[in-house]
């Protein structure tokens, strides 16, 4: 059985680009936003959302699909970046497909998610973890007599977020700016203001 990649997009040429770049027998299923909103997928499937401008809507679609289906591997990226990473996406899809089949054979299809995490164990809620951290931050600011909590928090979050994305993109500021949803000149200004050093690209 072929491993599945669901491509959510509004660009007719993107499917053709994907199919042309496939090497390992993945099956591409094209979905528009309305279709994706109601779609249920398997934990071993990969969902790729091509986000050109409206990244918030793409995140909402991915969250809705996860509510319908449970955990799966999702990617949100610009169409241009997706075209350059087709091989990597297909390899991920192939790996998840094989891992999912192995887990189903051993314990049944409902026991594990695509990362092999036992669903029968309680998994911490990400929102709750963030809320606890924010409570600690707000208490610290309050007891210190500080004001402008929103601006202070944004300063605390922005630097590690940008640094993490730059590391993930191996220092490529064009790709990092696309992931962050900002112009590359804006990214450079923020890096300068926050004193973020450029990330050196890894040698292969």
Q: Which domain covers residue 147, as residue numbers? A: 126-193
User: Which stretches in the chain have pLDDT values below 70?
Assistant: 1-2, 98-130, 142-148, 201-204
Residue 189: predicted pLDDT: 92
Task: At 134, list the tokens.
Answer: 């924010």
26 and 67 fall within a common domain: yes
Does residue 114 lie in a domain region?
no
Residue 84: predicted pLDDT: 82
Distance between CA 21 and CA 23 in Å, rounded? 6
Residue 21: predicted pLDDT: 81
Domain at 52, CATH number? 3.40.50
pLDDT tens-digit series, residues 40-90: 888 888 888 888 777 788 888 888 888 888 888 888 888 888 888 888 888
18 and 102 fall within a common domain: yes
Strand partners, 7: 30, 48
Does residue 112 lie in a domain region?
no
Does residue 202 lie in a domain region?
no
26 and 82 fall within a common domain: yes
Does residue 133 lie in a domain region?
yes
93 and 158 fall within a common domain: no
If you write DSSP's letter for every residue of 46-101 in order, what string do you get? EEEEE-SS-HHHHHHHHHHHHHHH-S-EEEEE-HHHHHHSHHHHHHHHHHHHHHHH
101 and 131 fall within a common domain: no
Q: Kindly list the strands in the beta sheet with 4-8, ordered across the sheet, starting from the edge strand earlier in the chain.
A: 27-31, 4-8, 46-50, 73-77
Of the candidates 107, 139, 161, which is a domain's last residue? 107
Of the candidates 73, 107, 141, which is a domain's last residue? 107
């Amino acid at each position: 059985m072929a491993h599945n990649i669901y491509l959510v997009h509004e660009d007719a040429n993107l499917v053709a680009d994907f199919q042309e770049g496939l090497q390992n027998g993945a099956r591409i299923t094209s979905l528009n936003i309305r279709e994706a909103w109601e779609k249920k997928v398997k934990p071993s499937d990969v969902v790729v959302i091509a986000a050109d401008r409206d990244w918030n809507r793409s995140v909402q679609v991915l969250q809705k699909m996860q509510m319908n289906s449970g955990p799966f591997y999702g990617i949100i990226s610009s169409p241009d970046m997706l075209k350059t990473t087709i091989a990597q996406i297909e390899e991920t899809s192939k790996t998840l497909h094989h891992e999912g089949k192995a887990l189903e054979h051993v314990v049944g299809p409902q026991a594990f998610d695509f990362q092999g995490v036992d669903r029968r164990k309680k998994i911490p809620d990400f929102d709750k973890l963030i809320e606890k951290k924010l409570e600690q931050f707000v208490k610290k600011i309050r007891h210190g007599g500080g004001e402008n909590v929103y601006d202070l928090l944004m300063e605390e979050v922005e630097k590690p977020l940008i640094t993490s994305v730059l590391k993930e993109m191996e220092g490529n500021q064009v790709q990092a700016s696309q992931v962050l949803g900002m112009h590359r000149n804006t990214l450079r200004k923020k890096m300068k203001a926050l004193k973020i050093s450029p990330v050196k690209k890894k040698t292969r």
